[in-house]
Amino acid sequence: MSRYIIAVDLGTSSCKVTAITPEGKFLSSRTGTYPVNQPRPDWAEQDPAAWWEASVNAIKEILADLKKDDHQPIGLSLSSQMAGLVLTDATGEVLAPALIWLDRRSQDEAKELAGKFGAATVYRRTGCHIDPSYPAAKLLWLKNNHPEIYQRAGKILGVKDYLFYCLTGRFITDPSSASTTQFFNIVECRWEEEILKYVGITTAQLPEVQPSTAVHPLSGAAAAALGLSAGLPVAVGAGDGVCASLGAGAIEPGQACVTLGTSGVLRITADRPVRDKKGRLFCYCLQPGVWLGGGATNAAGNSLAWFKSRFYREATYDLINNDVLKAPPGAGGLIFLPYLMGERAPIWDPNAKGVFWGLTMDHECRHLARAVMEGVAYSLKDIQERLEDMGIAIEVIKATGGGSKSGVWRQILADVLDKKVVDSPPDGTPLGAAMLVAVGLGMYNDLAAAGAMVHYSSISLPRQEYREVYDQGFYRYREIYRRNADLM
């Protein structure tokens, strides 16, 4: 009888459940979807019950897939979208729709926090640029606009925290998820009392912070719903960005990872907090002594999905990749700014807008497709340069996420970032989650040893013959925003 781990990744639009062996072999994968509700501009809500339903259905499908081959689940682990806000009463009953990371309704409250504490002070303590994407501003918005909900809040949870409660009946989070609340001191690994007091909550309303590798038993109720055995070890898990870095093999200090998912993220693993003097980058604590620093662009895979829905409606992504290959590097002078949903790092401008710049009668759809991929790469280079300005050397970048399945896009990343890009498992996030429970069960001594679960396929090397093209393109990319930010 062979053994496997169930990894559950709650993303922005879907829940992906993957069965992975302790050696890192992928056995099966199932997906459940749920909507992002946007009743008003800048609002983005989800129903936590939909997360649970999608997870239950996908796990059951995995069990059915593997039962006939006599496979045995030995543990379960979680990752999820970060910076979400779920309010429940003391018994875990959800009080209102979850406000996810995409929700930007709390812009005034973010300014209020900056005015009260100073943006630099909050960033130094929490590692997060003050922004409406984080729960601190979201909770303040609820306090100001829906006090009847705010006052009933017995527990204030993140996305993964809610699912962990559904599985175990315990209110527990991990340092990385706590790091995206803007309530957590990333240096001292504790809740930041002064900010909590201002927002009007206590540590008793927050989940207990435990290591991401800590395991707890699956509750009887959850086991019955899932068709699993009660007591199955469930790891606390980590945020999806952290799990993506682990699953890409960027585990030890100095190793970097790019995730091309709905959003795009460049992260560096470090043995010290990675904080930009101007507060443009994030820094999360994975565990005491290990931090992840970097930045996120809002619309990476989302930009390509938007482009496909408008210009390639009946086509596959393979056709888009083939068309991109037919367009020259630099897209014939066409530049795309992927600010379709505002932008986070490094410009932090919720009013930023998407732009195609440089269009002429000579451009065809293939040029626009290539410009979209290159524009996302430029947005990641903007983050890379901020890291390198801090004296952080990046030699190799490990790529993961759905977008990294495109060899064309990986080559564009290598060319634009001027770094060797290693193709990690595209499902790096569930793999990273599986690594956590493998360590928690004692199969590996630590996360570095669990890196044996990561298997690489190909390498894309930067092509120096296109260096000037992309240097000029990146210069224009930044100047187009700088000169038009006020108009946006």
Question: Annotated active-site positions, please?
Answer: 240
Output the CA–CA distances (angstroms, integers) from residue 379 to 32, 418, 419, in the order listed.
Answer: 30, 14, 15
Query: What are 168's two structure tokens?
Result: 């175990």
DSSP 287-348: ETTEEEEEEEES-SHHHHHHHHHHH-TT--HHHHHHHHHHSPTTGGG-EEE--BTBB-TTT-
Query: What are 207's two structure tokens?
Result: 């989940």
Tell me 186's DSSP state: T
Measured over the CA atoms of residue 206, residue 207, residue 208 and residue 211, the dihedral's sign is: negative
Contact 94, 253 (CB under 8 A): no
Residue 135 preceded by cis peptide, ω within 30:
no
Nearest to 298 by CA among 34, 460, 104: 104
d(CA 114, CA 121): 9
Each residue of 460-470: b (16+ CB within 10 Å) or e? bebeeebeebb
Secondary structure of residue 196 in the 3-state scheme: helix
Please state whether 8 falls in left (phi above 0), alpha (psi between -120 and 50) or beta: beta
Contacts made by residues 29-36, CB under 8 angstroms, sequence distance 24+: 29/62, 29/427, 29/430, 30/58, 30/59, 30/61, 30/62, 30/65, 31/58, 32/57, 32/58, 36/12, 36/100, 36/102
Each residue of 16-54: b (16+ CB within 10 Å) or e? bbbbbbbebebbbbbbbebeeeeeeeebbbbebebbbeb
Query: What are 96's two structure tokens?
Result: 């209102």
d(CA 432, CA 426): 11
Please state whether 231 falls in left (phi above 0), alpha (psi between -120 and 50) or beta: left
One-letter amino acid for residue 207 of the chain: P
Contact 3, 66 (CB under 8 A): no
Q: What separation, in Å, do the N-terminal and C-terminal C-alpha atoms of the chain show?
A: 60
Output the CA–CA distances (angstroms, integers) from residue 170 to 7, 173, 207, in the order listed.
Answer: 19, 9, 8
Query: What are 425's two structure tokens?
Result: 């498992």
